[in-house]
Every structure is written in structure tokens, then in C-alpha cells.
Structure 1
């Protein structure tokens, strides 16, 4: 096994458990994720809707998005961070899609 293969194998084994990690447990952005989830759960309950299901994005999954309601900001950091998109599906059900996004508050991106 070559050095590149060893590095790739190590990277996959080290990173894989963290890819699907729940964003609410993220030490930096967790409060933003929890606030977003609570906001939409409270909204759903106040309008007699079912609280939104949290869907963790997986590459290639089919999404049923009728209307985007809200997207959490990525302007609060630089690098890969958890993000959420709140949307209604074609049945009118409220859902929250959690995914990883690149933060846009990076040096040189101001303005």
C-alpha cells in the first residue's frame, strides 16, 4: 500500500464519523442550529402544524422541496460549518434539511 493510499484510508476512517454528525452538537455553531430548530418547532405548534422533521442530507438523496422558507446564515464563520434549510414539501409539511456548507466570513470576502 502506497503512502497516498494510506493517507486516503486514514482520512476516510477519521472523517467519516463526523460527516453525518448532528449540527446541534457542533461546539461553535450548535446554538445557531438549536435556535433555528426551536424557532420552527414553535412556529409549527402555534399554527397547528406538525413540528418539522430534521433531515440530514446525504449525497444523491431525492428531495421534495416545494418552497424554501429559511436558510441559516453562513456569514458567521469561515470553513465548513453546519447549515439548515427550512422548507415545505409538496404535501405542505414543514421540514428542516441539515447539511454542511462553506462559511463565507473569510479573510478577503468582506464587502
Structure 2
């Protein structure tokens, strides 16, 4: 009987952590995007450039990427998640694109 109570307690704790991790991913992403916007604004000011506005990537967009300034890493998720890339084009203008990438999924039991 004691074994079952312990096993039930462990199972409940594991499931609770899983739920927290799922909700935590949204908060983690929002914080990561907020920090990215601030870092890119600081970068623009340091380099005397206008702060880039975030644009949604559309399939087939013509991109003029001369230098990648920053790419946000994907978060832990087993689905697509937003990511951002800030780059300078050949004229030196900063552009930030938001697009979808596959999250880092660790659902294989390892």
C-alpha cells in the first residue's frame, strides 16, 4: 500500500512538472522575444541605424541578407514555434523577420 502511495505521488509530481513546462514555454518565448527586441534596438542605436520593426516572413519574400546580426534559438516544444532573425541588407538597413521553426522536441524517451 505504501508503495502505491509513493508511486502515485511521484506520478502526480511528474505530471505537474510537465504541465508547468508547457505553460512555461509560452512565458519563456515571450521573454526571449522581449529581450531580442531590446537587444536589437540597442544594436541599432550603437550603430546609428533606425530600430527595425518586426515583420512576418511570407513565403517567396525576396531577402537581401548581407550580414546576420541575430537569430533567436528555438524553444523546447514538439511543434512549430516562432523564431526571429535580424539582418543587415546590402545597403546596411536592419530588418527583423519572424517565422516558424520546428521546436526542439525531446519526446523520444531519452
User: TM-score normalised to the size of structure 1?
Assistant: 0.65
SS of equivalent to 1:37: helix
Change (3 A) 1:87 1:109: farther
Give the number of equivalent residue pairs. 85
SS of equivalent to 2:82: strand
Show the 5 A alignment for 1:8-23: none
Per the alignment, residue 65 of structure 1 pairs with 65
After TM superposition, give the deviation of residue 109 of structure 1 in Å. 9.2
**Could you report, residue by residue, the CA deviation over 1:30-58 in whole angstroms, capped at 9, with x for unpaired residues?**
22112111111012112322112322101
Q: What is the CA–CA distance in structure 1 between the aligned matches of 2:109 and 2:43, rounded to whole Å?
A: 34
More strand by share: 1
The CA RMSD measured in Å over matched residues stands at: 2.2
**Could you report, residue by residue, the CA deviation over 1:13-44 in whole angstroms, capped at 9, with x for unpaired residues?**
xxxxxxxxxxxxx9441221121111110121
Q: What is the CA–CA distance in structure 2 between the aligned matches of 1:106 and 1:52, rounded to whole Å?
A: 34
Contiguous gaps of at least 5 residues in structure 2: 1-24
Larger of the two Rg values belongs to structure: 2
Say if 2:75 and 2:81, in contact at 8 Å, map to a contact too.
no
Contiguous gaps of at least 5 residues in structure 1: 1-25
Q: What is the CA–CA distance in structure 1 between the aligned matches of 2:49 and 2:97, rounded to whole Å?
A: 18
SS of equivalent to 1:78: coil
Per the alignment, residue 101 of structure 1 pairs with 101
Per the alignment, residue 77 of structure 2 pairs with 77
SS of equivalent to 1:91: coil
More helix by share: 2
Per the alignment, residue 51 of structure 1 pairs with 51
Q: What is the CA–CA distance in structure 2 between the aligned matches of 1:61 and 1:109, rounded to whole Å?
A: 38
